[in-house]
């Protein structure tokens, strides 16, 4: 008898698992159950549909050749039965049957399986805020939501007498991407975030760069703010968002406070859930029932740096896991999934922010003896047109010198530099090894010493006690505490005029040794330059003259993320 494979969930991991299973077993009976009316779509493209970059929403469920991945496509091209509007309501593990209900007809049916793949994804969190059910209040998770959101935006624009107003509740990835899309459409947008920073997955100083840039692009940002209620008109349409200290007018509200793994079916079936609340799986993506696999946002992951369970919902991970689950559903537990490195990347207008591995606070909480370094460079040589800035923060363990994490921000090619650390982070490489990676080089693509190599060498110098960098957040704390120190600005007079920085004593690097007598020796000295390199050179020069307690401001003026 042909093998019967049932996949529950038809967005990302599910279709990938089914397609992989079909390629390995041309005779298998493969069925996908999808509770929604659309399947196999790129949900990460929803904000770009709102912005107009993706004009037709159906493009998000098309192949590269333009075929729409609907029931007919899966039947004719894949010979897979895709059932949309089919809600799996029970898994009978002893008899190996799935009970599902057609949403339209209400009819209930049984579907037997030999192997089952759970790809139920994640659900958007809807907080218990009064007024969350008002018209023009959206949660962006399902395919239809994306179309409704754009239609509401267009209708609001058509009747607006002035600038339409939107409030985004939650300044995470989806919230900021939708904020950009609405700013592109000439809306006034306010992002309300309960945490003390935007994009809480970033380290604070990296998030501060993003917030500073976002404000410059017109986004009103309210961090450390909690929404108390959504206020509506007599007709039931949202009109404002009430906070503790103010009320923000709103013609449209997006609630984007996060997602949670969709595990109710697994829980009801008695499958074991992990400490993150997602479905526990082994390295083969098997659940506690060896006949059932789980992949995508519903499944728990292993963090390759910490070695601990984690939950990172991401479309790329879902597809990679789907392939592994599809392989093992056919061949048995033969292929393993190595885990995830905690990747994140987003674009906000011309700015890119990215991270991989552990953040600084996370690494410290896990018991690592952490050292960090911040370095600013250019993604191309200065003489090449279009050269832009890249700021990288590297995190390492002092004892082993192992790279633990990297974060980046800038208008340059940040993504390429952070992406290059995937293999080092997943294989346990040291910063010394990262510094000597044989990265691509040609002037149109990179300077001879790539920004990643510069950052790694900076961290090596700090680990070796040669460089004594002062992170921007620490120097800001010194300023707030009015700690006595001497800030020496080693840039040229022209740089002072074009890129001012308050409080510095101007002594160009070339004159530093000759004018060292002007620098007090009775309290700490901080050296400042444009990117950090000349500050480091000045630190070494003063130490050669017998100065103690000399540091340089990491990242220099370009790396300063604060408005103060």
Give catalytic residue positions.
44
Q: Say if residue 279 is exposed, middle or buried (CB neighbours under 10 Å; 0-12, 13-18, 19+).
A: buried
Query: What's the rounded Cα separation, in Å, for the pair 471 and 301?
Result: 32
Residues 6+ apart with CB under 8 A from 472: 205, 374, 553, 554, 555, 559, 560, 561, 562
Give the closest residue to 339 by CA, choosing from 317, 314, 322, 316. Answer: 317
Q: Are 405 and 382 contacting, i.e. CB atoms less than 8 angstroms apart? A: no
Question: b/e for 83-97, b at 16 or more Cβ within 10 A?
Answer: bbbbbbeebebeebb
Order of all β-strands in the sheet with 81-84: 81-84, 29-34, 4-8, 115-118, 292-294
Q: Is the dihedral of CA 124, 127, 128, 134 positive or negative?
A: negative
Q: Are 214 and 482 contacting, i.e. CB atoms less than 8 angstroms apart? A: no
| Tokens encoding 425 | 């982070």
Dihedral in degrees, nearest 10, Cα atoms 188, 194, 196, 197: -50
Query: What's the rounded Cα separation, in Å, for the pair 293 and 326?
Result: 9
| Tokens encoding 439 | 């990265």
Residue 313 CA neighbour count, 13 Å, CB half: 23
Q: Say if residue 268 is exposed, middle or buried (CB neighbours under 10 Å; 0-12, 13-18, 19+).
A: exposed
Backbone angles phi, psi at 32, to 5 degrees: -110, 130
Name the strand (E) or helix (H) holding 248. Answer: strand 247-249
Cα-Cα end-to-end distance for the chain = 72
Give the closest residue to 33 by CA, choosing from 80, 77, 93, 96. Answer: 80
Query: What's the rounded Cα separation, in Å, for the pair 111 and 21?
Result: 18
């Amino acid at each position: 008898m042909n093998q019967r494979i049932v996949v529950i969930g038809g967005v990302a991991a599910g279709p990938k698992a089914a397609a992989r299973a079909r390629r390995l077993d041309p005779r298998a009976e493969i069925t996908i159950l999808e509770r929604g009316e659309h399947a196999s779509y790129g949900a990460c493209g929803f904000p770009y549909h709102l912005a107009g970059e993706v004009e037709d929403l159906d493009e998000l469920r098309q192949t590269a050749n333009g075929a729409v991945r609907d029931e007919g496509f899966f039947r004719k091209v894949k010979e897979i039965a895709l059932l949309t509007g089919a809600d799996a309501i029970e898994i009978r593990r002893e008899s190996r049957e799935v009970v599902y209900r057609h949403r339209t007809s209400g009819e209930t049916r049984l579907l037997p399986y030999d192997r089952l793949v759970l790809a139920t994804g994640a659900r958007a969190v809807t907080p218990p805020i009064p007024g969350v059910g008002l018209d023009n209040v959206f949660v962006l998770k399902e395919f239809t939501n994306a179309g409704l959101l754009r239609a509401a935006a267009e209708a609001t624009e058509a009747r607006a007498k002035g600038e339409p107003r939107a409030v985004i509740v939650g300044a995470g990835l989806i919230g900021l991407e939708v904020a950009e899309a609405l700013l592109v459409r000439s809306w006034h947008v306010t992002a309300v975030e309960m945490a003390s920073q935007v994009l809480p997955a970033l380290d604070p100083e990296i998030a501060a760069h993003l917030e500073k840039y976002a404000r410059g692009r017109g986004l009103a940002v309210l961090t450390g703010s909690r929404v108390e209620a959504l206020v509506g008109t007599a007709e039931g349409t949202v009109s404002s968002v009430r906070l503790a200290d103010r009320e923000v007018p709103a013609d449209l509200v997006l609630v984007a406070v996060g997602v949670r793994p969709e595990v109710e079916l697994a829980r009801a079936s008695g499958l074991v859930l992990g400490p993150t609340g997602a479905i526990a799986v082994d390295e083969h993506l098997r659940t506690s029932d060896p006949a059932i696999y789980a992949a995508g946002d519903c499944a728990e992951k292993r963090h390759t740096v910490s070695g601990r369970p984690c939950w990172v919902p991401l479309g790329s991970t879902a597809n990679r896991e789907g392939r592994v689950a599809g392989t093992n559903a056919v061949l048995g537990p033969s292929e393993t999934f190595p885990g995830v490195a905690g990747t994140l990347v987003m674009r906000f207008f011309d700015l890119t922010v990215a991270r991989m591995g552990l953040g600084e606070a996370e690494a410290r909480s896990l018991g690592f003896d952490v050292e960090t370094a911040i370095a600013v460079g250019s993604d191309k040589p200065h003489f090449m047109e279009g050269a832009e800035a890249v700021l990288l923060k590297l995190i390492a363990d002092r004892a082993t010198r192992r790279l633990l994490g990297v974060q980046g921000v800038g208008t340059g090619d940040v993504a390429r530099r952070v992406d290059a650390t995937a293999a080092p982070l997943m294989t346990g490489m040291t910063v010394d090894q990262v510094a000597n990676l044989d990265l691509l080089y040609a002037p149109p693509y990179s300077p001879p010493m790539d920004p990643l190599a510069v950052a790694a060498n900076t961290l090596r110098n700090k680990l070796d006690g040669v460089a004594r960098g002062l992170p921007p957040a620490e120097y800001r704390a010194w300023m707030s505490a009015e700690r006595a120190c001497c800030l020496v600005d080693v840039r040229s007079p022209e740089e002072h005029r074009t890129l001012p920085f308050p409080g510095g004593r101007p002594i160009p690097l070339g004159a530093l040794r000759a004018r060292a007598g002007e620098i007090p020796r009775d309290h700490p000295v901080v050296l400042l330059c444009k990117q950090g390199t000349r500050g480091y050179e000045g630190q070494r020069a003063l130490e050669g003259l017998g100065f103690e307690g000399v540091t340089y401001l990491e990242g220099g003026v370009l790396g300063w993320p604060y408005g103060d």
